[in-house]
Amino acid sequence: MLLSKCNLSSIQKIALYETKNSFYLIGSNVTLTSFRVLRIVRSEPKELNIINDEKEYTQQEVREMVKAIDSEGNDTSKKHGVSNITKIVSAFGIIGFVRFLEGYYIVVVTKRRRVAVIGHHTIYKVEDSSMIYIPNESVRIFHPDEQRYVKMFQSIDLSSNFYFSYSYDLTSTLQINVIRSEGFEKKPHRRFIWNSHLLQKFQDTIHPSWLLFFIHGFVGQSNISIYGRSTYITLIARRSSKYAGTRFLKRGTNFNGDVANEVETEQIVHDCSSSTLSRECLSSFVQLRGSVPCHWSQDISKIVPKPTIAVDLSDPYVETAAAHFRDLLERYGAPIFILNLVKKREKKKHESTLSEELQSSVAYLNQFLSSNDAIHYINFDMARKNKRYECMSTKRETKIDEFKYFSKKSNVISRLADIANYAITKTGIFRSKTPNDDRSSEKATTKSLQTGIIRTNCVDCLDRTNTAQFSLGKCALGHQLHHLGLLEAPQLEFDTDCVRMLEELYEDHGDTLALQYGGSQLVHRVKTYRKTAPWTSQGNDIMQTLSRYYSNTFSDQEKQQAINLFLGLFVPEEGRSPIWEVPTDYYIHHIQTRIFKHDKKVISHWWGDGDKYKNPNDCTDQTEDDVKSQFDVYDDFYRPSELSLLSEVYGYQVSHSVRDFMPHFTTDFSPFSIRIRPGRRKEEAGYKNQTKNPSLSGHCSTQSSASSSGTSSDDEDSISRRSLTPVVKRDENKKIISKQFFQKTENVYGLVYKYPIKNLATYKRY
C-alpha cells in the first residue's frame, strides 16, 4: 500500500572509473542485476559534459565494457603493463556537481548508515562523502581563490545530519506519500531539498534512477514493545532550504514569506507486526516551527547577551506575513494554529515587540476570512508560567471565555497539554487504516487526514519551542496509538516508558537543530519546565549558554557564507567580489530590494486567486509521465542476496523500550504504566554523564550503544537500573486491548499446544 509506485532512485551502488579523457559512473541496483552507465568528459576545463547512456546493462555486459575501455589504451601503457582505466571510489549515490572558479567537482556518498525504516522503505544517513575534481590536469585553469572556496564548501559537513532514501520521498509527509502511492508520483518538495543547486546542471538530462534528494535536519527512530508487539516511533525533521542560516544572522522572513529556521517535524507511528505493506498500520502528525513572520533583526555589532530586537521595515498591509500564511494554506490547508511562546509583558520592552507585531498581523489578516478559515492565535508566555495567559479565538472578536479551561492549571506542561488537545482535535492526525479493518469492506479504504498545521515559535525557535513541540507530540502519540488500536483511551501519562522514550527522541531532535542553528545543544529542556531537573543540570545549562554565545559571536558569519555557497545563493564568478569580501548577504536573500516589481494582488484577497487555498492532499494534476520505474523494496529491506549477522540487523540496533527504558525485575511489562522511581541520585548521574548529542557525531542515540551510555539526562545508567526495583502504578484506563490483538493460536491457526506426555527422551535429546 505504502508507496508501491514511488521510486526516487533505484541505483544504490556506484563504481567510479577514471581514464585520461573520461570518468565512467557504473551504477547498479542492490542485487547487481541491472546496471546503467554515465560518462563524464574530462577535456572541458569549465563545462560539465555528461553523456547519458539510455541502455540498461547486465553484469556480464558491464564487465565486457570495462575490458573494452581498458584495451583502448595507447601502446606505451600496454608495453609497461599500465591499465588504461582505474577504479577511484565506490559510492552509494550522487549528491551533485558544483563549480567555483575552475572546473566542476562531483560529490558522492561513500559511506551510509541505516537510521530508520518506514514500512519496507529504508532511510539512510550520510556518514562520509568524497569530492572529486573532474577536468584532467592538462586542461586545468588554476585560480588563486579556488581552494578557499573548496574549503568553505567542505565546511558544510555532509556527514552531519544529511539523510536520503532510495524509495521513500523524505521531502514530503507520510500522508502525501500514501496518497501518491495510489495514483501517480509527483515531484518532491523543493523547499526541503538541500542538494537542489548541485543537481541543477544534470537532473533533466539523465535517467531519474540516478537522482537522490537529500534533506537536512534530524531522523530518529525508537521501538515500543507492547507485550512483544513492535511499534516504531519515527521523528523526521526537515529544515527548509529557503532563507536558511544561523541564529542572529537570519531572523524574521524575506519578501516571499520564507521564515528563518523553518523546520517541519513529522511524528510517524508504524505498527510493524505485519510483513506485507498492504496490511501496514500507519499514522503521522506534522507540526512546524519558524521565526516570527515579519522583517526584524538583532544588532550583533555590540557583544551583549541579548542584542536589541528591532523591526526593520514597516508593513502596513501585512504583505510579508500574508505571503507566509498563504504558503502554509497551500501546503497544509486550514486551520492554522499559531502557538506564540514569546513574552507578552516585560518591564523593559524586548521580546514583546515581536508579540505585538505577530498579533496585529493575524488580526489584520483574519478580518478578510470567515470564522471557519481564520487563523487561530494562542499567546502563551512560558516565562510567566504561573500567571494567566491570553488567547485570541478564531473569530474576529477576542473571546478569552472560550479558553477558560486552559488557565486553571499553573503547571506549564499541563497548560501546553490543554493547548495540544484543543489544537489536535481541530487539525486531526493522519492514519492509513486500523488493524481490524476488513480488506473487503469500504472501511478499509477510508483514511483520517490531517488538515491544517500547528506552528510554534519563540524568539530563537529553540528551547521553548522544542518543549512545546514535545507536548504536542505527546498528545498526538496518544491519539495515534488509540487510532491504531493499541490504547483504550487517547492519553499518555508522564513517567511511563513510552513517554520517556518520546522525550528522549524530542531532546535529540532539539539538540540537533539547536547545534545546526544556534551553535549549542538545548539549554532548557522538558525537565526544566516540569521542575524535575536536578540541581546538577544548572552547570550544564551554563556551559551550553556559553557555547551558544561563543558560536554566535565568532563563527556564525563563516557558517552563513558556507550555507549561501552550498545552496547556490552565491555563485562565484570571474570579476565578482568573493563572498568573504561581501559585507552583507541581505540582497542575496531579499532580491526584491534590487528589482522592483509591482504586485497587483488585491490585499483583501491575500490567500491568492480563485479558491482560498488548494487542497494539500490533491494529487489529480499528475500525468503518466510522472511515473517512474518500479523499485523493489523487498530486496532493499531484506537483502536476500547478502550474508548478514543477526546482531547487525537494524531491529537489534534501534532503541528499544524494554531493553533501554523498562526497569529490571518488574512484573508489569506495559510501556504505558506509570513507574515511580525512588530517589534522585540516578537522574543526577544521568546529567553528570551527559555527552555531546550523538546524532551530530554520526552515532544517533537511537542505537542501543548510545542509549546505554547516558546520552539522555532522564535515563538512569544501565548498571544502576539492574538493581532498581520500581514502585509500579497501574492505570486501568490505559490497559492494552489484549483480546483484540493477542489471540490464541487455536483461533488463528487451528493449532493447540499441549505438554508432551510420550517420548520425552526424544525431546530431551534435542
pLDDT of residue 546: 59
pLDDT of residue 509: 95
Q: What share of the chain is helix, strand, coil (3-state, %, to 5)?
A: 35, 20, 50
Q: Give the end of a domain, one of 173, 196, 213.
A: 213
**What does the pLDDT average to over 422-429?**
94
What pLDDT band is residue 248 in, cutting at 50, 70 and 90?
confident
pLDDT of residue 690: 43
Distance of alpha carbon 98 from alpha carbon 114, whole angstroms: 27
pLDDT at 628 over 60: no
pLDDT of residue 433: 67
Q: Are residues 119 and 99 in the same domain?
A: yes
What pLDDT band is residue 484 in, cutting at 50, 70 and 90?
confident
Residue of 651 and 324 predicted with greater confidence: 324
List CB contacts of 292: < 8 A, sequence separation 6 or more. 252, 259, 340, 342, 354, 357, 358, 457, 459
pLDDT of residue 543: 61
pLDDT of residue 325: 95
Distance of alpha carbon 466 from alpha carbon 505, whole angstroms: 11
pLDDT of residue 254: 93
Cβ atoms of residues 333 and 451 within 8 Å: yes
Q: Give the end of a domain, one of 213, 245, 277.
A: 213
pLDDT of residue 636: 78
pLDDT at 704 over 60: no
Backbone angles phi, psi at 165, to 5 degrees: -145, 145
**Cell 542476496 belongs to residue:** 641
CA distances (Å), origin 291, targets 24, 82, 316, 526: 45, 59, 19, 21
Q: Are residues 547 and 567 in the same domain?
A: yes
For the chain, what percent of residues have pLDDT higher than 90? Answer: 46
Q: Are residues 163 and 234 in the same domain?
A: no
Distance of alpha carbon 8 from alpha carbon 163, whole angstroms: 13
Determine which helix (DSSP H) or strand (DSSP E) holds 648, and give its type and residue range. Answer: none
List CB contacts of 34: < 8 A, sequence separation 6 or more. 10, 28, 56, 57, 58
**What does the pLDDT average to over 173-189?**
76
Q: Are residues 430 and 298 in the same domain?
A: yes
Cβ atoms of residues 383 and 343 within 8 Å: yes
User: How many CA atoms lie less than 13 Å away from 754 in the CB half-sphere?
Assistant: 5
pLDDT of residue 220: 96
Lowest mean pLDDT among 29-33, 62-66, 393-397: 393-397
| Helices and strands (H, E) in the chain, number of each type | 23, 23
Q: Are residues 555 and 532 in the same domain?
A: yes
Whose CA is closest to 450, among 429, 472, 421?
429
Lowest mean pLDDT among 168-177, 204-213, 429-438, 534-543: 534-543
Q: Give the end of a domain, one of 560, 594, 628.
A: 594
pLDDT of residue 71: 83
**What does the pLDDT average to over 36-58?**
92
Distance of alpha carbon 285 from alpha carbon 331, whole angstroms: 14
Give me the DSSP letters along 603-645. GGGTT-SSSSS--TT--TT--GGG------HHHHHH-TTS---
Beta bridge partners of 457: 340
pLDDT at 489 over 80: yes
What pLDDT band is residue 72 in, cutting at 50, 70 and 90?
confident
Give me the DSSP letters along 515-531. HHHTSS--SS-HHHHHT
Q: Are residues 235 and 187 in the same domain?
A: no
**Pairing outcome for strands 162-164 and 263-271:** unpaired
Distance of alpha carbon 306 from alpha carbon 194, whole angstroms: 31
**What does the pLDDT average to over 336-343?**
94
- Taking residue 176's Cβ as centre, other Cβ atoms within 10 Å add up to 20
pLDDT of residue 512: 94
pLDDT of residue 301: 74
Beta bridge partners of 122: 117
Lowest mean pLDDT among 58-62, 138-142, 298-302, 745-749: 745-749
Residue 44 inside a domain? The answer is yes
pLDDT of residue 732: 45
pLDDT digits (tens, 9 = 90+) for 356-375: 999 999 999 999 988 888 99
Residue 735 inside a domain? The answer is no
Residue of 699 and 267 predicted with greater confidence: 267
Cβ atoms of residues 27 and 210 within 8 Å: yes
Q: Are residues 196 and 232 in the same domain?
A: no
Distance of alpha carbon 139 from alpha carbon 587, whole angstroms: 35
What pLDDT band is residue 120 in, cutting at 50, 70 and 90?
confident
Residue 372 inside a domain? The answer is yes
Residue 342 inside a domain? The answer is yes
8-state DSSP, 495: T
Residues, the chain? 766
pLDDT of residue 242: 94
Determine which helix (DSSP H) or strand (DSSP E) holds 440, and give its type and residue range. Answer: none
What pLDDT band is residue 666 in, cutting at 50, 70 and 90?
confident
**What does the pLDDT average to over 363-388?**
82
pLDDT of residue 371: 84
**How far from the centroid of its chain's Cα atoms is residue 378's Cα?**
25
Instruction: Work out the end-to-end distance of the chain between its first and last CA atoms, rounded to an integer number of angstroms.
Output: 42
Q: Are residues 168 and 225 in the same domain?
A: no
Residue 89 inside a domain? The answer is yes
pLDDT of residue 443: 44
Structural domains counted in the chain: 2
pLDDT of residue 388: 46
Report the sign of the C-alpha dihedral through residues 127, 131, 132, 134, in that order.
Answer: positive
Residue 675 inside a domain? The answer is no
pLDDT at 454 over 60: yes
- Taking residue 658's Cβ as centre, other Cβ atoms within 10 Å add up to 16
Cβ atoms of residues 186 and 627 within 8 Å: no
For the chain, what percent of residues have pLDDT higher than 70? Answer: 73
pLDDT, mean over the chain: 79
Q: Are residues 133 and 153 in the same domain?
A: yes
Provide Rg for the chain, Cα atoms: 28
Lowest mean pLDDT among 141-150, 175-184, 390-399, 519-528: 390-399
List CB contacts of 109: < 8 A, sequence separation 6 or more. 91, 92, 93, 94, 95, 126, 128, 129, 158, 164, 212
Beta bridge partners of 223: 232, 656
pLDDT of residue 279: 60
Q: Are residues 206 and 238 in the same domain?
A: no
- Taking residue 614's Cβ as centre, other Cβ atoms within 10 Å add up to 14
pLDDT at 308 over 50: yes
> According to the per-residue pLDDT averaged within each range, which of 433-447, 450-464, 511-525 is highest?
450-464
Lowest mean pLDDT among 216-225, 258-267, 514-523, 565-574: 514-523
pLDDT at 399 over 50: no
Q: In what order do the strands lie in the sheet with 22-28?
A: 50-52, 35-41, 22-28, 13-18, 86-91
Residue of 72 and 226 predicted with greater confidence: 226
pLDDT of residue 149: 96
Residue of 303 and 500 predicted with greater confidence: 500
> According to the per-residue pLDDT averaged within each range, which of 202-216, 264-278, 425-439, 606-620 is highest?
202-216
pLDDT of residue 423: 95
Cis omega (within 30 of 0) for bond into 335: yes
Q: Indicate the pTM of the whole model.
A: 0.83
Backbone angles phi, psi at 467, to 5 degrees: -65, -40
Cβ atoms of residues 675 and 229 within 8 Å: no
Whose CA is closest to 22, among 46, 57, 49, 47?
49
Residue 123 inside a domain? The answer is yes
What pLDDT band is residue 473 in, cutting at 50, 70 and 90?
very high
pLDDT at 575 over 50: yes
SS3 state at 12: coil
Q: Are residues 333 and 370 in the same domain?
A: yes
pLDDT digits (tens, 9 = 90+) for 282-299: 899 999 999 999 999 988
pLDDT of residue 84: 85
List CB contacts of 356: < 8 A, sequence separation 6 or more. none
pLDDT of residue 351: 87
The C-alpha angle 606, 425, 469, rounded to 5 degrees, equals 80
What pLDDT band is residue 416 in, cutting at 50, 70 and 90?
very high
Report the sign of the C-alpha dihedral through residues 611, 616, 618, 619, in that order.
Answer: positive
Domain span including residue 237:
221-393+408-436+444-572+579-594
Distance of alpha carbon 301 from alpha carbon 138, whole angstroms: 47
**Cell 542501543 belongs to residue:** 704
Counting other chains too, the contacts that 603-611 makes at CB distance below 8 Å and 24 or more residues apart are 603/317, 603/319, 603/322, 604/368, 605/368, 606/318, 606/319, 606/322, 606/325, 606/326, 606/365, 606/368, 607/322, 607/325, 607/326, 607/329, 607/369, 608/326, 608/330
Residue 67 inside a domain? The answer is yes
Q: Are residues 503 and 529 in the same domain?
A: yes
pLDDT of residue 258: 95
pLDDT of residue 754: 73
**How far from the centroid of its chain's Cα atoms is residue 562's Cα?**
21
Give me the DSSP letters along 139-196. T----TTHHHHHHHHHTS-TTSSEEE-SSS-TTS-HHHHHHHHTS------GGG-SSH
**What does the pLDDT average to over 80-87?**
76
pLDDT digits (tens, 9 = 90+) for 514-560: 999 888 788 888 888 877 665 555 556 666 665 656 566 567 889 99
Determine which helix (DSSP H) or strand (DSSP E) holds 431, and give its type and residue range. Answer: strand 430-431
